[in-house]
Structure 1
Amino acid sequence: MFPKPIATATANTPEFEQTPLVKPTGFREYDARWLFGTELNLMGAQALGLGIGTYLHERGVKPEIVVGHDYRSYSQSIKLALANGLMAAGCRVHDIGLAVSPMAYFAQFALDVPAVAMVTASHNDNGWTGVKMGAERPLTFGPDEIGRLKEIVLSGSGVTRDGGGYVFVENFGERYIADLIGTRKLDHPLKVVTACGNGTAALFAPQVLRAIGCEVVELDCTLDYTFPRYNPNPEDMAMLHAIADAVRQSGAAVGLGFDGDGDRCGVVDDTGEEIFADKVGVLLARDLSSLHPGSTFVVDVKSTGLFMTDPVLRQNGVKVDYWKTGHSYIKRRVHELGARAGFEKSGHFFFNAPVGRGYDDGLVAAIAVCEMLDRNPGKRLSDLRRSLPRTWQSPTMSPHCADEVKYEVVERAVAHFTARARSGEPIAGQAVRDLVTVNGIRIVLEDGTWGLLRASSNKPELVVVVESPTSEANMRAIFAEIDEYLSAQAEVGAYNQKI
Structure 2
Amino acid sequence: MFPTPKPLLRPNSYEFESEPMVKPTGFREYDARWLFGSEINLMGVQALGMGLGCLIAELGQPQEIVTGHDFRSYSASIKYALISGLQAAGCKVHDIGLCMTPMAYFAQFELDVPCVAMVTASHNDNGWTGVKMGANRPLTFGPDEMTRLKEIVLNADFNNKVGGCYHFHENFPARYIADLTRRAKLKRKLKVVVACGNGTAGAFAPQVMQAIGCEVIPLDTELDYTFPKYNPNPEDMEMLHAIRDAVLEHDADLGFGFDGDGDRCGVVDNTGEEIFADKVGVMLARDMSAITPNAQFVVDVKSTGLFATDPVLQAHGARTEYWKTGHSYMKRRTHELQALAGFEKSGHFFFNAPLGRGYDDGLISAIAICEMLDRAPDKSMADLKNALPKTWSSPTMSPHCADEAKYGVVAAVIAHFEAAQTNGDKVAGQPIRDLVTVNGVRVTCEDGSWGLVRASSNKPELVVVVESPVSEQRMHDMFAAINAVLGTHAEVGAYNQTI
Which interval holds the TM-score relative to the shorter structure? Answer: over 0.9
Partner of 2:180: 180
**1:424-443 maps to which residues of 2 (within 5 A)?**
424-443=424-443
Letter in 2 for 1:301: V
3-state SS of the aligned residue for 2:78? helix
Partners of 2:83 and 2:185 in 1: CA distance: 38
Partner of 1:161: 161
Partners of 2:436 and 2:486 in 1: CA distance: 19
Residue deviations 1:327-353, cap 9 Å, x none? 000000000000000000000000000
Partner of 1:270: 270
Partner of 2:244: 244
Letter in 2 for 1:476: H
- Offset at 1:108? 0.3
Partner of 2:279: 279
Partner of 1:42: 42
Letter in 1 for 2:215: E
Letter in 1 for 2:49: G
Partner of 2:204: 204
Partners of 1:90 and 1:162 in 2: CA distance: 5
Runs of 4+ in structure 1 deviating by more than 3 angstroms, as ranges, are none
Partners of 2:368 and 2:39 in 1: CA distance: 38
Letter in 2 for 1:117: A
Partner of 2:416: 416
- Offset at 1:184? 3.2
3-state SS of the aligned residue for 1:405? helix
Partner of 1:498: 498
Partners of 2:205 and 2:14 in 1: CA distance: 43
1:101 aligns with 2:101: yes
- Offset at 1:484? 1.1
Letter in 2 for 1:335: H
Partner of 1:321: 321
Letter in 2 for 1:38: S
Letter in 2 for 1:468: S
Residue deviations 1:280-327, cap 9 Å, x none? 000000000000000000000000000000010000000000000000
Letter in 2 for 1:246: A
3-state SS of the aligned residue for 1:47? helix
Letter in 2 for 1:161: K
Partners of 2:385 and 2:61 in 1: CA distance: 45
**1:68-87 maps to which residues of 2 (within 5 A)?**
68-87=68-87
Residue deviations 1:241-267, cap 9 Å, x none? 100110011000010000000000000
Letter in 2 for 1:216: V
Partner of 2:489: 489
**1:27-426 maps to which residues of 2 (within 5 A)?**
27-426=27-426
Partners of 1:470 and 1:114 in 2: CA distance: 48
TM-score normalised by the chain length of structure 1: 1.00
Partners of 1:26 and 1:299 in 2: CA distance: 26
Letter in 1 for 2:139: L
Partner of 2:3: 3
Letter in 1 for 2:162: D
Residue deviations 1:93-148, cap 9 Å, x none? 00000010000000000000000000000011110000000000000000000010
Partners of 1:421 and 1:245 in 2: CA distance: 45
Letter in 1 for 2:228: P
- Offset at 1:421? 1.6
Structure 1 stretch 129-138 or stretch 480-489: which is displaced more?
Answer: 480-489
Residue deviations 1:13-39, cap 9 Å, x none? 000001111000000000000000000
**Unmatched 5+ residue regions in structure 2?**
none
- Offset at 1:45? 0.5
3-state SS of the aligned residue for 1:404? helix
- Offset at 1:183? 2.1
TM-score normalised by the chain length of structure 2: 1.00
3-state SS of the aligned residue for 1:297? strand
Partners of 2:19 and 2:293 in 1: CA distance: 57
Residue deviations 1:419-474, cap 9 Å, x none? 01210111100111000000000000001000000000000000000000001111
Residue deviations 1:200-250, cap 9 Å, x none? 001110000000000000000000000000000000110001001100110
Letter in 2 for 1:222: E
- Offset at 1:418? 1.1
- Offset at 1:42? 0.3
Letter in 2 for 1:145: E
- Offset at 1:57? 1.1
3-state SS of the aligned residue for 2:484? helix
Partners of 1:260 and 1:355 in 2: CA distance: 23
Partner of 2:460: 460
Partners of 2:229 and 2:477 in 1: CA distance: 34
Letter in 2 for 1:239: M
- Offset at 1:488? 2.0
Partners of 2:58 and 2:423 in 1: CA distance: 49
Partners of 1:22 and 1:177 in 2: CA distance: 36
3-state SS of the aligned residue for 2:257? strand
- Offset at 1:487? 1.7
- Offset at 1:370? 0.4
The share of aligned pairs that are identical, in percent, is 70
Partners of 1:474 and 1:415 in 2: CA distance: 23
Letter in 1 for 2:220: D
Partners of 2:353 and 2:379 in 1: CA distance: 26
Partners of 2:478 and 2:188 in 1: CA distance: 43
Letter in 2 for 1:135: A
Partner of 1:469: 469
Letter in 2 for 1:280: V
Equivalences, count: 499
Letter in 2 for 1:446: E
3-state SS of the aligned residue for 1:231? coil
Partners of 1:79 and 1:207 in 2: CA distance: 26
Partners of 1:269 and 1:34 in 2: CA distance: 35
Partner of 1:17: 17
Superposition CA RMSD, Å: 0.5
3-state SS of the aligned residue for 1:416? helix
Partners of 2:39 and 2:63 in 1: CA distance: 28
